Chain A
Amino acid sequence: MMDRRLIENFDWSIIWALLAIICIGLLSIYSALYTQIQARPTNNLFIRQILWLVLGFVVMGCSLFVNYQRLRSLSPWLYGFVLLLLMVVLAIGKEVHGSKRWLELGGFQFQPSEFMKVVIVIQLAGYFSSQEVTNFPGIKKLFLPLSLVVLPVLLVLAEPDLGTAISLMAIATTMIFFVGVRWKYIAALALTVIPLILPVWEHVLKPYQKRRVLILLSPDLDPLGAGYHIRQSKIAIGSGMLWGKGFLNGTQNKLHFLPEKHTDFIFSVWAEEWGFVGCAVLILLFCLLIFLTLRVAARSRDRFGSLVVVGMSALILWQAFINIGMVIGVLPVVGITLPFVSYGGSSLVTLCLAIGLIARHALSCNRIDRKCKYA
C-alpha cells in the first residue's frame, strides 16, 4: 500500500526523536527500579515495561494500516465503547490507593481512561470535519463536542483521577482552538469561569487536592506530608547540577526518598543522574517531537486527518509539560505521567497508537497529493 518513495518522503525525524525519548525512559526506569531489578532479575516492572513497549510497537505498526475513512465512520462506536468501559471501571474496577482506575483482563491491568484520550481525539476530529461545521463554529455547533468531552471527564473525575481529566480537557481545548474560537466566546467563558473559581475551590476540590495547590504556593506548609514529595523531588533535581551524578548514581532515588519515582516523578530520577544537560536534551526532544507532528497537521489537506494529528500532538504536549511542571515545582501535583518515559502500560500503548496514527496520516498525505511535500 505504500511505495518506496513515500517511505523515503516520510520525515523520519519523528521516529528518531521518539526512540531517543523512549531510551531516556528506559534508562530512568532502570535506575529508579534498580533495587527491585537486583532482587528479582526476571520478574520486575522494568521487564514489564519492555513487554508493554513491544506491544506498543506492534500497535504502532498496525496503526500504519488504518484506513482514515473507516476510522472516521467507526469513531462513534469506539467512543461509545470506551465510555462504557469507563462506567464499568466505576462499577467493578480495581481500587488502588482509594481510586478506581484499573480493569483487570487476563492478569494484565489497564486503564480505560488512557484509551479515552485517543478516542476523544478521533471523535472530535470526526465532528469538526463534517460538512456542516465550519471554522469558528457558532455556539450551537459547539454544544455537541463539549458534551462529548464533559461526559468522560465527569466519569474520570469520579474514579477519581484529576490528572486524566485535565489531560482530556487540555486535548479538547487545543482541538477546538485549532478549529477556531470566536473572541466573544472566550470573553464569555472567562466571565463565567472566573466567578466560579471560589465556589469550586470551596466545594468541589477534595481536601487533598486543595492541599496540593496550597503546598505548591508554599511548600513549607507541610514538610512532612505533601510538601515532603516536592522537597525531595527538588533536592533530587537540584543535586543533579549541570552534568548529573551519572547513571545509577542517584542517591535520592536509591534511598527511596522519591515518591512514585518510576511513574509520576520519573523526571526527577533523570534530572538527578543526568543533570541540567540531560533535562535540556529531554525537553528539547519533546519540543522537536511535538513540533514535527504538529507540522504534519499544518501541511495536511485532509481536515479530519489533520485534526486527528493535532489532537494526538496535544496529548503528548500537555502531558509532557504538565508532568515536568509539577515535578520541578511550578505546577501542582496532579498525577499526570511523562509520555514515553514514565512506567505505565496503558499509557505507553495509547501513546504508541497516537504516534502510529500521526505517521499514518503523514504517509497518506504524501500519497494523495505530492505537492504536500515536507520542506
Chain B
Amino acid sequence: MKTTDDKLDGFKLINRDGGESVSFQRQYLLICAIMVLLMMIYMVRLWQLQVLQGELYRYQSENNRIRMEEIAAPRGIIFDRNGVPIVENRPAYHLVIIREDITDLDGTIRELARLCERNPDEFFSIIEANKSSPKFVPLRLASDLDRDCLARVEAQRIRLPGVEIELEPKREYKWNATAAHLIGYLSEITEAEIKSEKYRGYYPGEDIGKVGIESAFEKYLHGSRGGRQLEVDAAGRRVRLLEEHLPISGRNLWLTLDMELQKTAEALLEDKTGAIVAVDPTDGAVLAFACSPSFDQEKFVRGLNKDEWLALSKDPSHPLLNRGSGAAYPPGSTYKPFVALAALKEGAINAASNFTCPGYLQFGDRKYRCWKDHGHGSVNVERALIESCDVFFYQTGLKLGVDRLAQNVTAFGLGERTGIGLQGEHPGLIPTSLWKKQATGVPWQKGETISISIGQGFDLVTPLQMAMAYSAIANNGKLWQPYVVKRIEGSSANEIDEISPRLKRKISIEQPWFDLVKKGLAGVVEEPRGTGHLIRNPFVQIAGKTGTAQVVHVAQGANRKLLEKLTNSKDRDHAWFVGYAPASDARICVAAIVEHGGHGASVAAPMVQKVILAYLKNTEKPLKE
C-alpha cells in the first residue's frame, strides 16, 4: 500500500534523502473534505438556530429574563427516644437586594436602613465589598430580621423594586445548651471545606455540622438544596415559574437519648464541672450524656463574633470540652473491679485469697497507704471491693504484673475509643511496660504497678468508657459499642433505617468470676460497711463502685484526711461513681465524675442514684425490706 502517484508530479514529495518518494496529497484532500463537511454541518445548525428559530430565541432573550433562585433544604430534625423534638428548624428572614433592578440605589438603601433601624453605612459597606460580583446576583444586607422590621419592609416592598425577603430555615435548639456536647452545633462552611471531597455539592454560605451528632450525621441531616428558574419582569418581579426542583429535606434522627433523664442529669451537675453518662447495658444505647459546664448552641446559630469565640474557647472551665467522651481522667477505685476480674481470670488470686491490710504496703523504701489509716485487716476479693481496700489491690496488682493486667483490662474497652462516632473522642490510656519504654524511654518500675492497680498513675479513662465497661460486667462480658442514633428517618415510609446495636466483643472470663465481682459491687451499696452504702434505697438494688481519683500527688506518709481540709478546691480529688441497676438484671448503667468534687461516695454516688431512680421510677416497686 504505497501512495506514490506519478501523475501528481508537481505535488510529489521526496523525503530528506531524496530516496523514497512520498506524498501527503491524498491525506491533505481527505482532511480538507472532512473540514468542509464539518463546516457545512455547523452552517446548517447555525442557520437553524439563528434564522429558522431566530425569532423565538430573540423573543426569549428580550422578553424573558430568567433568574435562578436557590431553595435551601430544611435540615433533618433530631428527636429523643420518645419522639420529643430536641432540634428543629425555624424560618429566618433575610433582607436581600438585587442591584440590577434598583433604579435609585442610594435612596433605596437609606429607606431600608430607616425601616430596619440600622446605620445606612453598614449596608453601603456590604455593597462596596461585593462591588465586583454580578449585579443580578442577590446580595444579603441583613440576616435574621426581627418581626417588626420584617413587617415594615414587607409593607413598603411594593414601592421598592429589587428588594426581596429571603426565607431560610434556621436551626433551633429547643432546649438550648442541653446535651449540647452530644448534639453539637452548626457553622458556615469554610472555603477550604467547600473544596474538600467530603462537602462536594455544597454551596458557599451553607451551614454544616461542626461537632457532635450534627457533624457525625451531617450527610443524613443536610439534605440537598433545590432551585427554581423564574421568569422576571423588568423590575425583577417574578412573572412565571419555569422550572422548579424542590429541595430534598435532610433525614430526621431518632436518638437513644431520654430527654427527661438528660435534664435530670444536667440539673445534678449544675454549678459543678464533670460528666454523667448513662447507657443501656443490654445494647449500648446512650440514655443520657451530660457534660458540665455547657455552652449556648443558639449563639452558634446566630454566628459568633471573634470576641465571643475567644471568650468561649479561652474560658478556664472549658465549656466546649466534651467531658463525656473527649476528656480522660484517672479512674481511681472504680478501676478495682477490672483488676479483680483480671487477677481471677489469670489465676493470680481466687475467691478465697486473703491479704492482710495494716493500712499501708511497704514496698522497697516506700510506704503505699490504704485510704483507711488503720487498715482493713484480713480481706478477700469480695470484701476488698466492698470496702475498697487499696492494699489488697496493691498486692493483687504486683502478683499479676502490669502487662497481664493491661491485657485483660483493655478487653473491657478501656484504653481504646468506644466508637460512639463523635469527633475528638479520647482513647484513654492503659499503660503497658512496652508503652512506657516507647513513650518515656524509661523502663517500667514495679512501684508504678502498685499505683495503676488502684486506678492511679498512668491510668486514664473517659466516663463513657467506664459506663460501657461496667455494662460489660453487669451483662456478664458483652462489650457493646455505644450508639446514640437508633433510627434515621426519611420523608417516606420506606426510607427508615433502624440502627442495630453492635457487639464489640465477648470478654472471655468465666461466669463464676463475674458473679463474684458483681456480688462485691452489690455489696458496696448493700452492706453497712460498703463505701457506697449512702445511696441504698428501698426501690431498687444498685451495684457500683466509688472512686476518688487523686489529682495532686500526696507525699508518702502524709495524713490524707488532714490534707484534704487544707488543700484548695483545684487540688481536690475527682469524685467518681459508676454503677448499674437493678443489680441482678441491669437495665441502666451510669458513670458520673465531678472534677475536684472530693469523695466519690458523698458527691458522685448520689448523682448516679438519682439518675437511676429517675429512669426506673415508673417500673420499680419498693423492694421488700
Q: Which residues of A contact B (CB under 8 A)?
A: 35, 39, 95, 98, 129, 131, 134-136, 174, 177-178, 180, 182, 223-224, 228, 232, 234-242, 251-252, 255-257, 271-272, 275-276, 279-280, 283-284, 287, 290-291, 294-295, 297-304, 306, 310, 317, 321, 324-325, 328-330
Contact = CB atoms under 8 A, between A and B. Distances in A.
B57 A129 contact: no
A232 B57 CA distance: 10
A240 B31 contact: no
A367 to B, nearest CB: 16
Contacts of B61: 235-236, 238-239, 251-252, 272
B275 interface: no
B45 interface: yes
A241 B198 CA distance: 45
B41 interface: yes
A237 B95 CA distance: 36
Contacts of B2: 135-136
Interface in B18-52: 20, 22, 24-25, 27-28, 31-32, 35-36, 38-39, 41-43, 45-47, 49-51
Contacts of A310: 24
B51 A224 contact: no
B24 A298 contact: yes
Interface stretch (B62-70, B261-269, B412-420): B62-70
7 A-B pairs with the lowest CB-CB distances in the bound complex, closest first = A238-B57, A239-B61, A241-B54, A298-B28, A276-B50, A239-B57, A238-B49
Interface string B77-99: 00000000000000000000000
A19 to B, nearest CB: 21
B496 interface: no
A298 B245 CA distance: 55
Nearest to A310: B24
A39 B132 CA distance: 8
A276 B22 CA distance: 41
B51 A257 contact: no
A241 to B, nearest CB: 4
A39 B131 CA distance: 9
A328 B42 CA distance: 8
B11 A271 contact: no
B559 interface: no
B46 A328 contact: yes
A180 B28 CA distance: 12
A321 B123 CA distance: 48
Chain B: number of interface residues, binned into ranges: 35 or more
A228 B65 contact: no
B11 A299 contact: yes
A338 B28 CA distance: 23
A285 to B, nearest CB: 11
Nearest to B244: A224
Given A238-B53, A239-B54, A241-B50, A330 B45 contact: yes
Nearest to B31: A294
Given A297-B24, A300-B13, 17 more contacts: A39-B131, A135-B3, A235-B57, A238-B49, A238-B50, A241-B55, A251-B62, A252-B61, A255-B136, A256-B134, A271-B46, A275-B50, A283-B43, A287-B35, A294-B28, A294-B32, A328-B49
SS class of chain A's interface: helix, strand, loop or mixed?
helix
A178 B50 contact: no
B497 interface: no
Contact of A328 (B13, B39, B45): B45
Contacts of A232: 66
Contacts of B38: 321, 325
A290 B133 CA distance: 39
A98 B28 contact: no
Contacts of B243: 223-224
Contacts of B32: 291, 294
Interface string B521-544: 000000000000000000000000
Given A39-B131, A235-B57, A238-B53, A280 B46 contact: yes
B229 interface: yes
A287 B53 CA distance: 26
8 contacts: A129-B16, A135-B3, A228-B68, A228-B229, A272-B61, A304-B16, A310-B24, A330-B41
A129 B3 CA distance: 16
A324 B45 CA distance: 11
A239 B47 CA distance: 12
Contact of A129 (B15, B41, B55, B131): B15
A256 B136 contact: yes
A249 to B, nearest CB: 11
B155 interface: no
Contacts of A301: 13-14
Contacts of B3: 135, 180
Contacts of A224: 68, 227-229, 243, 245
B46 A276 contact: yes
Contact of A241 (B41, B58, B195, B245): B58
B51 to A, nearest CB: 6
A241 B242 contact: no
Given A237-B57, A291-B35, A294-B32, A302 B50 contact: no
Contacts of A238: 49-50, 53-54, 56-58, 60-61
A279 to B, nearest CB: 5
A329 B62 CA distance: 21
Interface in B119-144: 131-132, 134-136
A141 to B, nearest CB: 15
A240 B49 CA distance: 9
B136 A98 contact: no
A337 to B, nearest CB: 17
A330 B342 CA distance: 75
B552 interface: no
A95 B192 CA distance: 12
B42 A174 contact: no
A291 to B, nearest CB: 6
Contacts of A174: 31
A300 B23 CA distance: 9
B24 A306 contact: yes
Nearest to B60: A235
A237 B60 CA distance: 12
A242 B15 contact: no
A279 B46 contact: yes
A180 B31 CA distance: 13
B556 to A, nearest CB: 59
Nearest to A275: B50
Contact of B50 (A271, A304, A321): A271
A84 B195 CA distance: 26
B427 to A, nearest CB: 34
Contact of B1 (A129, A182, A235, A324): A182
Nearest to B70: A224
Nearest to B69: A224
B227 A178 contact: no
A134 B20 contact: yes
